[in-house]
Structure 1
Amino acid sequence: MYVASDSFQRNKITSAFQGAAYHGLTIARTWAFSDGGYSPLQYSPCFYNEKMFQGLDFVISEARKYGIKLILSLVNNYEAFGGKKQYVNWARNQGQNIFSDDDFFTNSVVQGFYKNHIKAINSITGLVYKDDPTIMAWELMNEPRGTSDASGRTIQRLLPSGLDIRNGFLLKVDKTINNHLLEAGLEGFYGQSNARTDFITNNQIPDVDFATVHSYPDQWLTSQSDESQTLKSHIEDAQNIIQKPLLFAEFGKSSKDPGFSTYKRNEFLNTVYSEIYSSARNGGVAAGGLFWQLLVEGMNNFRDGYEIVFSESTSTVSVITEQSQKLNKIRKMYTRL
């Protein structure tokens, strides 16, 4: 959205989607938020930057052109691009008694700001987003965490009541909810983790349509040598307990890590893809995987070590393309059925 808001850089967005489609990719996940700070989408509650909205419109139109479905994330857990911290600061500036960033999940004024953002994203520009089939799903928050509550219950409150999903708020805003799915944006941690979320209970909310996992073993599983075992446990729990599809919505290895090599990155990507394929081939719940993150030349400001630029690593591109083609064959088989 940020790059596309500059008409002179829009060719980069076109190039990204064109390359993704060429290599068999069918889903992209991107931000539909930028709250406060420099060049925001949302200057302050309910006040929007039309130029940034035009950038988001362009992203959606290019995705449509190249047959890519989108997952749009509605707010960040972290301070980058504003996030929940910006929301609670807006409420604090209006006189609300805010104790921590976790008040995002419970404070009625903060939740009002967030609900208004959902309405704005659905209705401000171009083809109304709630009517756009290019959008596959809404993500409630990127990697929600409730750090003040080790039980995970704070996040649990976010899902059924804090956003009034069960009371129909999001359903009323997006009347094509049967076409637009809903996911929570969870990383996949289990109860009593430092993230204060629980993969099973948080995804069992009826209005959450599919579960998600973000997998960064070099950051989070440094003491665990069998990376595939963690993937298997999430697939098994999504299959047997949650009973919903599972999307690996982020995964990767950073070139900034000590001992990084392209071989190790490719090996990890192949491990994730292989587990997904094994499940999908047997009619299981694994629905796909989105590596973090796809960039093109000239997007250096967004490089974080995890970026994949198709022109820079032919071996990594080969892994991605091969696995995408295998998964697409399964998808087409089920489509015919």
Structure 2
Amino acid sequence: MKLRRRTLLAGAAATAGFAALPGCASIPRGRKSGFVTRQGTRLLRGGEPYRIVGANMWYAAWLGADTDYGDRGRLVRELDRLQALGLNNLRIMAAAEEGPLKNSIKPGFTRTDGSDNAALFEGLDFAMAEIARRGMTAVLVLSNFWEWSGGLQTLLFRNTSEYIDMGDPAHPWPAFADATAKFYQNTGALESYRAHLRNIVGRTNTVTGILYAQDPAVMSWQLANEPRPGGSEAAIARNREAYLGWIASTAELLRTLAPNHLVSLGQEGTQATNGSEELVKAAHEQVDYLTAHIWPLNWSWVDGEDLAGTWPEGRKKVAEYLASHTSMARDLDKPLLIEEFGFPRDGETYAPGTTTRFREQFYRMIYDAVESSWREGGPLQGSNFWAWNGEARAQHDDFRFVDGDRTYMGDPPHEPQGWYGNFDTDRAMLALVSGHAAGISAS
């Protein structure tokens, strides 16, 4: 049986034209600069509309580290490829917490005792300097509801000495989500979280000499990856006020520390609230824009081994999810970003070179919705696909990540390597992404 991604909820260059480009010493001609701001449902940069064509690249800081696990040469090559595709935004991790969780990445930004791993902070510095040189921006994610980077469950462990592994048969769903949501009411865990937040936001980049709080390359500080108020209805009800309080207080803290930057939540949308639109809207009241994530396979909207038979119905559900979240954004008069969306390769295979016919249809559906919104002045302002694998390749025949592996890709360490990410040789996918990016100027 194939593993489902992070939630278990429902139970050489790409082409000759994308060869590595030399690093740019300044913002390329035609690239917008300055801080990203919000005006109603629009994002602006330099006073002009800022439309997001982005990717998820959680591992950028790891590649940027000047260590045995880093690879700055590869990071530069990957950013050159993404720039050549026309991307202008990356969503990356600015936190990872070491601890006992089975599938969490190591090293982390903070060690088990809470102390800093200076090399990874400097890796983030290098990554952000390279992102800025290309005129791109980044969303910096400050923790994770899921286990693959340690996350909120690890912060709880540091303060309670208790933890649950995601997928542990002894603790079936929704035990992990319910346990992790205790974070919002744990004083010690909250303070550990805020300490890291202050450390990052108040940091001076060792490469550029710019304070993170004053860096225009930071588009948004994101509270966490996919933070939920719980998994069960009882836990959601129990944690609701603490969850909303954490969002409001953290947003206020970020605006105090970094008043020029946007604040985002990182929530999936109604999939995170057991279908409650009211709670999604309440959760986004205190942040600058709405986020939605769309995972048809993870949510059992399609069957990876029968995409031809199940995609038509899955497509309808994707359309409904897009419509409902666009409507909520319009109600709140805020932008919407589809900041994660992923789909398997045909036959749910993992190797480069296998076909992506149904993934292409899914991406085209997301991109059509975004482009329509651009043309019509709607709230949907862009998207970030999950995820960029680039030149990385699985190191083992079973496509599993093993502690000590250094060939990071968009599929996190608990997932099959090659499941959702796009490789530098996925010509059809890269052409699709590049064509969408070209639509910015045409809309």
TM-score with structure 2 length normalisation? 0.66
Contact 1:155 1:197 in 2 (8 A): no
Contact 1:105 1:162 in 2 (8 A): no
Mapping of 1:1-337 within 5 angstroms? 1-6=61-66, 9-37=71-99, 38-44=106-112, 46-93=114-161, 100-126=179-205, 127-147=210-230, 150=233, 152=236, 154=239, 157-161=242-246, 164-165=249-250, 168-174=252-258, 177=259, 179-189=260-270, 193=274, 198-203=279-284, 205=285, 207-220=286-299, 221-222=301-302, 224-226=314-316, 227-239=318-330, 241-255=331-345, 258=348, 261-298=355-392, 300=394, 301-302=408-409, 303-310=417-424, 312-330=425-443
Contact 1:147 1:196 in 2 (8 A): no
CA-based RMSD of the aligned residues comes to 2.6
Larger RCO (CA within 8 A; separation ≥ 6) = 2
**Aligned length, in residue pairs:** 318
Contact 2:346 2:359 in 1 (8 A): no
Measured against aligned partners, the alpha-carbon deviations of 1:273-326 in whole angstroms (never above 9, x if no partner) come to 00011112111101101000112213644334111123x111111111111111
Contact 2:345 2:358 in 1 (8 A): no
Alpha-carbon spacing, 1:120–1:291, altered in 2? closer, same or farther (3 Å): same
Unaligned runs of 5+ in 2: 1-60, 100-105, 163-177, 303-312, 395-407, 410-416
User: 1:270 corresponds to which letter in structure 2?
Assistant: R
Measured against aligned partners, the alpha-carbon deviations of 1:58-101 in whole angstroms (never above 9, x if no partner) come to 1100100111100000001011111111100011149xxxx932
SS in 2 for 1:116: helix
Task: Using the TM superposition, give the Cα deviation of residue 109 of structure 1 relative to its aligned residue in structure 2, in angstroms.
Answer: 1.3
CA distance in 1, matches of 2:92, 2:272: 27
Alpha-carbon spacing, 1:186–1:328, altered in 2? closer, same or farther (3 Å): farther
Give the 4+ runs in structure 1 shifted more than 6 A: 194-197
CA distance in 2, matches of 1:57, 1:145: 29
Contact 1:189 1:197 in 2 (8 A): no
Percentage of identical aligned residues: 24
Task: Using the TM superposition, give the Cα deviation of residue 236 of structure 1 relative to its aligned residue in structure 2, in angstroms.
Answer: 2.2
Task: Using the TM superposition, give the Cα deviation of residue 6 of structure 1 relative to its aligned residue in structure 2, in angstroms.
Answer: 3.8
Contact 1:288 1:327 in 2 (8 A): no
CA distance in 2, matches of 1:148, 1:188: 14
CA distance in 2, matches of 1:285, 1:162: 22
Contact 2:273 2:280 in 1 (8 A): no
User: 1:5 corresponds to which letter in structure 2?
Assistant: A
Measured against aligned partners, the alpha-carbon deviations of 1:139-193 in whole angstroms (never above 9, x if no partner) come to 1010112225527453553343466246x3222222xx2x311111011126851
Return the structure number with greater helix share: 1
CA distance in 1, matches of 2:428, 2:346: 19
Measured against aligned partners, the alpha-carbon deviations of 1:193-228 in whole angstroms (never above 9, x if no partner) come to 18999432222x2x3000001111122134644132
TM-score with structure 1 length normalisation? 0.86
Measured against aligned partners, the alpha-carbon deviations of 1:11-34 in whole angstroms (never above 9, x if no partner) come to 111112111111111110000011
